[in-house]
Amino acid sequence: MMTSVERYYVGKEQWESILKDWLFKYHVLAPLKKAGNNHIQFITPDNYQKIIYDEARPVQPLKTFLLPSLEEVSGGFPETGKSFLLLGVKACDLSALPILDRAFGGDYADPFYQSRREKTLIVSSDCGQPWATCFCTLVGGQPYPLKGFDLNLSKVWDGFIIEVGSLKGRNLLDGYDKLLKDLVKEEELALQKMRREVLRKVDRQNHPYYLKRSLTGLLEGQWESEVWDRHASTCVECGACNFACPTCHCYYLDDVTRKEGVKLRGWDACLYSGYAVTAGGGTPRPRLVQRFRNRYYCKLQYLEKNYGQIGCTGCGRCIEGCQGRIDMRKAMHELSKSADPEHE
């Protein structure tokens, strides 16, 4: 068990030697720029210099790699050989992990999820430039990882401050001691300054959505609020908000009839009219506005009650991907105003 924080500074050249070594040992995935956005891709000796470390979260949520959107769950486990090393994971994706671990672990652990989780190393990194849709601070987070990583990288000057977060992380650095140096005060101060500035930036851009009520109490007495009808009115039931969300984890199972004994598991979306429909055709939420409202209650109330954590990390993907231009921050802000008439 880790007792104290272990941190080092690594220069650009030294970091690249470590990384080049890791490319032989692991399947390394990291964000690269593609069409103006950051997409997680396989890293090779040809593209490792283009990795985006210090911008905001990539398009794909972390769950994509632990819980594929469609997979066969009737056969054996996929043979991957080498472990996966996910580089540049952001705080908003890391905070979603305990929810996935809880849903697919514990007494009834899902062997497919577990085998991938055990074979995945996480090297996270601080956000340097949040997107306009990022709102981690509004939901109790911050734009840099505090826990849940094996190693964390904070870009300071030309190199990185590396923080060890687990035994797996410690093992990742074994053999590279000569490339790491102890942290000096200037590096520490530069890190604090950089984190303060990014935090302020996220806070500032979310000032218009400030919530007076605590998030967990936000939905008290809001079941009949007119906010649901107004915001759901532009929803086209595309399910993008569910699929892009790092904490959404509902799935369906499908017995493939043309191939005997094959069962598939795929991501499901609670905004779909077919979600939770029974064999006889009944549904608990026949109207779109009911499904829309349920998503907020699930994230802000039910998950908190059952898992001890709300189901939103403020990654902003649901805002960015919404075809109906629905902004969750705006809906939450309006709910907080309608709950407290004094709130401006």
Task: Centre a 10 Å sphere on the Cβ of residue 215 and count the other Cβ atoms it contains.
Answer: 18
Q: Which of 104, 239, 300, 301 binds ligand SF4 (CB under 6 A)?
A: 239
Binding of residue 244 to ligand SF4 (CB under 6 A): yes
Least Cα distance to 245 among 98, 113, 60 occurs for 60
Q: How far is the CB of 67 from ligand SF4 (least distance, A)?
A: 15
CA pair distance 62, 88, nearest whole angstrom: 11
Q: Which of 162, 173, 215, 318 binds ligand SF4 (CB under 6 A)?
A: 318
Looking up tokens 């829309």, which residue turns up? Answer: 292
Q: How far is the CB of 131 from ligand SF4 (least distance, A)?
A: 11
All residues at 6 or more sequence positions from 74 whose CB lies less than 8 Å from its CB, including other chains: 261, 262, 263
Strand partners, 123: 87, 151
Q: Which of 241, 331, 332, 339 binds ligand SF4 (CB under 6 A)?
A: 241
Quick note: the x/- pattern for ligand SF4 over 24-53, rule CB under 6 A, is ------------------------------
Binding of residue 313 to ligand SF4 (CB under 6 A): yes
Quick note: the x/- pattern for ligand SF4 over 323-342, rule CB under 6 A, is xx-x-x--------------
Q: Which helix (DSSP H) or strand (DSSP E) does residue 71 occupy? A: strand 70-72
Binding of residue 164 to ligand SF4 (CB under 6 A): no
Binding of residue 90 to ligand SF4 (CB under 6 A): no
Q: Which structure tokens are listed for 187?
A: 């590096």
Binding of residue 246 to ligand SF4 (CB under 6 A): yes
Buried b (16+ CB within 10 A) or exposed e, 38-63: bebbebeeeebeebbbbbbbbbbbbb
Stretch that binds ligand SF4, among 116-124, 167-175, 197-205, 316-324 (CB under 6 A): 316-324
Site for ligand SF4 in 250-269 (CB under 6 A): none
Instruction: Tell me the site size for ligand SF4, rule CB under 6 A.
Output: 26
Cα→Cα distances 332→44, 180, 252, 279, 336, Å:
42, 45, 29, 35, 6
Q: Which of 64, 247, 294, 336 binds ligand SF4 (CB under 6 A)?
A: 247
Q: Which structure tokens are listed for 125?
A: 């990194």
Nearer to ligand SF4, 117 or 299 (CB): 299
Binding of residue 130 to ligand SF4 (CB under 6 A): no
Q: Which helix (DSSP H) or strand (DSSP E) does residue 6 occupy? A: strand 6-10
Binding of residue 165 to ligand SF4 (CB under 6 A): no
Looking up tokens 């997107």, which residue turns up? Answer: 131
Strand partners, 85: 28, 121
Nearer to ligand SF4, 121 or 322 (CB): 322
Q: What is the DSSP string of 302-318?
A: IHHHHHSS-S-----HH
Stretch that binds ligand SF4, among 28-36, 74-82, 221-229, 310-318 (CB under 6 A): 310-318
Q: How far is the CB of 296 from ligand SF4 (least distance, A)?
A: 9
Stretch that binds ligand SF4, among 48-56, 175-183, 205-213, 235-243 (CB under 6 A): 235-243
Q: Report phi then psi at 134, rounded to 5.
A: -70, 135
Site for ligand SF4 in 274-303 (CB under 6 A): 299
Pairing assessment for the beta strands 37-42 and 27-34 based on DSSP bridges: antiparallel
Binding site for ligand SF4 (CB under 6 A): 235-241, 244-247, 271, 299, 312-318, 321-324, 326, 328
